[in-house]
Amino acid sequence: MIRARIAGTGSCMPEKVMTNFDLEKLVDTTNDWIVTRTGIKERRIAAEGEFTSDLATRAAERALEMAGIPASEIDLIVLGTVTGDYPWPSTACIVQNNLGAKNAYAYDLSAACSGFLYGLGCASDFIQSGRGKKVLVIGAETLSRILDWTDRNTCVLFGDGAGAVVLEAAENSETGLLSTHMHSDGSYLDLLYQPGFGTRMMPSVQGVETGAFFLKMQGNEVFKVAVRSLTDISNEALAANNLSAEDIALFIPHQANKRILEATAKRIKMKEEQVYVNVHRYGNTSSATIPVALDEANRAGLLKVDDNVLLSAFGGGFTWASALIRWS
């Protein structure tokens, strides 16, 4: 049986740090409120002239370097993002060109915060089908560009960043990606979305004046569904692999809010030391949270051969997804 295994991980965070104390100067908020309600202490903000494709390219270069695989050997690039450089063509094509990955075809995938795990699912199916052997999966965002910096309900929660993995085909392997699961429910669209400027609401002076370009969210409602969906998708992944919570060496949930992580971990009976948390340093970077955390954990030596690693995400759409990896 062919399985996709992770051959390398990489990430890239912008240099500029914005702390909660910096936000106190912008909106009516406090460090205390943000830390208590979200666990977030600081986030990274892309510099002027630094785009989603730049962060994605650097994360991908680091993953390729770790894998020891030249960009020319990549068959496919899948990039999860809701903040691509252009409405079209895809940011994945820009990254392909930046990397010189001349033999890859490349596309963006729009699944909000589940974008990276949706990408992992597509890439795993691609490899298992025998269609190609080496895939770059990237999650990259510059959410700071679509935040309303006068809205304390949203601007304190998000940040910029990118993470990537290189997948390669492994024949008759007991390790690698054991399962991926993906779900959507479009009936929740307006709890978390960006009203403009797609073709439903084209750019206009009125649209700009009413902030239609900014991310909109009903935080309370999102919170409840996020905990429920992350719990369900995590249990689904465990059951599909005949595993229980204690068999998981590391659980990396989407880093949206520490309270969401803690509530989910409690429901699936995961102990605090099993859960990877970096939301305090980066906030919610949407599709980038999981590959960034995976790269940090990998480079810190937290992942050993045969460790079971559970990844679970939830995001706008709504979308939710999981991946269970036996580390190699």
In the residue annotation, 155 being an active-site residue is answered as no
Q: Pick between residue 131 and residue 224 the one whose CB is nearest to ligand COA.
A: 224
Which one of the listed residues 20, 257, 284, 298 is annotated catalytic? 284
In the residue annotation, 93 being an active-site residue is answered as no
Q: Pick between residue 170 and residue 226 the one whose CB is nearest to ligand COA.
A: 226
Q: Pick between residue 7 and residue 157 the one whose CB is nearest to ligand COA.
A: 157
Give the residue nearest to ligand COA (CB): 219
The contact set with ligand COA (CB under 6 A) reads 29, 33-34, 37-38, 113, 152-153, 156, 217, 219-220, 222-223, 226, 256-257, 260, 284, 314-315
In the residue annotation, 254 being an active-site residue is answered as yes
CA neighbours closer than 13 Å in the CB half-sphere of residue 81: 35
Least distance in angstroms from the C-beta of 312 to ligand COA: 12
Least distance in angstroms from the C-beta of 257 to ligand COA: 4
Least distance in angstroms from the C-beta of 227 to ligand COA: 9
Least distance in angstroms from the C-beta of 20 to ligand COA: 9
Which one of the listed residues 254, 257, 298, 308 is annotated catalytic? 254
Q: Pick between residue 116 and residue 314 the one whose CB is nearest to ligand COA.
A: 314
Q: Pick between residue 37 and residue 228 the one whose CB is nearest to ligand COA.
A: 37
Least distance in angstroms from the C-beta of 54 to ligand COA: 24
Residues marked as catalytic? 113, 254, 284
